[in-house]
Amino acid sequence: MGQEINRIVFSEAHFRDYESRLRRETEQLDEWLASDRIEHGGHVFGFEAEAWLIDHNHFPAAHNEALLDRLANPLVRAELSRFNVELNGTPRTLGGGALRGSEDELQATWRECQRVAHAMGDALILIGILPTIRNADLSLANMSPLNRYRALNDQVLRRRHGRSVKVDIAGRERLTVTHTDVMLEAATTSFQAHLKVPVEDAVRHYNAALIGSGPILAACANSPFLFGRSLWEETRVPLFEQSVGVGGEGAGCARVTFGSGYLRNSVGEYFHENLERFPILLPVLFESTGRLDHLRLHNGTIWRWNRLLPGFDDAGHAHVRIEHRPLPAGPSIVDMIANAALYVGLTHFLAMLGEPPESELPFEDARSNFYAAARLGADARLRWLGGTVTDARSLLLGEMLPMARHGLKALDVDAAEVAHYLEVVRMRVQTGQTGAAWQRGFVDRHGRDPLRLTAAYLENQRSGAPVHEWEF
């Protein structure tokens, strides 16, 4: 969905032609996998960080077009709403300096964005759900003026036969809201970690990413409030899942999911499921480039929390990477890179185990862990390898962090970087002060004032300190 499209109105002929091309490209990918045409190179890390643009009163500022025009930085792009932008990182081969280099680059891009936003009278903030967002802000008037977003909205509503989108989230409190468009999705911002892996290791790494998602999310939650209601520790999860459903029941209705199972033998299974299970939303027809354009666009309209992405380098060589989508934006840049370090290290460790962990932990348990962690954070009870059940905090401190340390060292990440970033996670888990916990603690002390909460959060974020060091 990162690519712009050239039309927003489609005929039935477009859908038929697109399906035919999608089927051919899915078969083409099978052939590439069978003939070793997919890259066998090393492990590469990249990221996408989504941010909010806010005005001097800490409300959303629908000014991303002006910001992007003034920046003219190819690493910063538009998002679904006019008050969001996306900051991208340069892919880096994992090894000495890769994580620190990513942090330094993100810090530099962030400072540039803040400088330009400040000159406009605005600021940027990294947070999963902005406390000051109002239902009225999430309207089509605030949608970024790109064809792909207009077309996506139109096609989701077409599939829903015009029925409104209903969001019903039961957490500490309950929120029910309806919308006539997909703009509720714009209330969620994330830090998406990309891990390119050798194709022969992709099945194991993808399954490992699924297994680790619940415990990782428990350590990283940063989205406890929406429209003034106290909901899940990661309210982004149910909000995103419910905001872009195409309606009805059965296969393909839920476009945002944890998935339907582990991969067995090939990443091709993932794209065959896309083909057979998910109706086409954007039948944009491309001239033949040999780069699986139709398969990639279709995949971009299916938002599994861990998503496989085929990609190509400048020379046209194909690769496979895993996009890890559960991580929220914020609380600080060092927190986000530390979260990515936990994800990369844990995923690699689990993928390299002699006995595949997916043979010990049923997929249904991995999925249940994910939603329990999203709802309850570090207090969630999780089922782990061998059938043991423990709280997320104990699992992270006793097993997950040592696993991540070994995984990062196996990838030749600098020992000082490993120690630094995993210590950030350890202290956050040990103190219990995730971003979500800090927000709840602030509200407990100062009352439910979203303006004051946002102002205090932004001040702490600007300090650069990890969230476990933030004061109320």
pLDDT tens for 223-246 read 999 999 999 999 999 999 999 887
Please state the domain extents for the chain: 12-46+138-429
How confident is the model over 407-415, as a mean pLDDT?
97
How confident is the model over 180-207, as a mean pLDDT?
97
Percent of the residues in the chain that have a pLDDT greater than 90, as a whole number: 91
**How many whole angstroms separate alpha carbon 81 and alpha carbon 268?**
33
Q: Is the pLDDT reported for residue 1 higher than 60?
A: no
Q: In terms of Cα–Cα distance, which of 397, 405, 399 is closest to 386?
A: 399
Side chain identity, residue 166: K
How confident is the model over 282-306, as a mean pLDDT?
95
Q: Which two tokens stand for residue 425?
A: 């996670």
Is CATH 3.15.30 the right assignment for the domain spanning 12-46+138-429? no
How confident is the model over 43-48, as a mean pLDDT?
97
Mean pLDDT of the chain: 95
Q: Is the pLDDT reported for residue 301 higher than 90?
A: yes
For the chain, the residue count is 472
- Structural contact between residues 142 and 82, judged by C-beta atoms closer than 8 angstroms: yes
Q: Is the pLDDT reported for residue 192 higher than 80?
A: yes
State the pLDDT at residue 4: 73
What's the pLDDT tens digit per position in 142-162? 999 999 999 999 999 898 888
Burial of 202 (0-12, 13-18, 19+ CB in 10 A): buried
Q: Is the pLDDT reported for residue 375 higher than 60?
A: yes
CA 300 to chain centre: 13
State the pLDDT at residue 346: 98
- Structural contact between residues 122 and 214, judged by C-beta atoms closer than 8 angstroms: no
State the pLDDT at residue 251: 55
What's the pLDDT tens digit per position in 57-95? 999 999 999 999 999 999 999 999 999 999 999 999 999
State the pLDDT at residue 249: 52
More confident residue, 9 or 390: 390
Where does the pLDDT of residue 377 fall: very low under 50, low under 70, confident under 90, or very high at 90 and above? very high
Q: Which residues contact 454 (CB under 8 A, 6 or more apart)?
A: 54, 58, 125, 127, 130, 131, 132
State the pLDDT at residue 41: 87
34-56 burial code (b ≥16 CB/10 A, e <16): eeeebbeeebbbbbbbbbbbbbe
Q: Is the pLDDT reported for residue 9 higher than 90?
A: no
What's the angle, vertex CA 296, arms to CA 295 and CA 300, rounded to 5?
120
φ, ψ dihedrals at 354, nearest 5°: -60, -40
List, as own/partner pairs, every contact residues 161-168 make where C-beta atoms lie below 8 angstroms and the sequence separation is at least 24, other chains included.
161/247, 163/247, 165/242, 165/243, 165/244, 165/245, 166/242, 167/238, 167/239, 167/242, 167/243, 168/242
- Structural contact between residues 318 and 310, judged by C-beta atoms closer than 8 angstroms: yes
Q: Is the pLDDT reported for residue 252 higher than 60?
A: no
How confident is the model over 341-346, as a mean pLDDT?
98
More confident residue, 251 or 353: 353
State the pLDDT at residue 8: 84
**How many whole angstroms separate alpha carbon 85 and alpha carbon 53?**
7
Where does the pLDDT of residue 40 fall: very low under 50, low under 70, confident under 90, or very high at 90 and above? confident
Q: Is the pLDDT reported for residue 260 higher than 90?
A: yes
Q: Is the pLDDT reported for residue 408 higher than 60?
A: yes
How confident is the model over 128-151, as a mean pLDDT?
96
State the pLDDT at residue 247: 66
Q: Is the pLDDT reported for residue 167 higher than 80?
A: yes
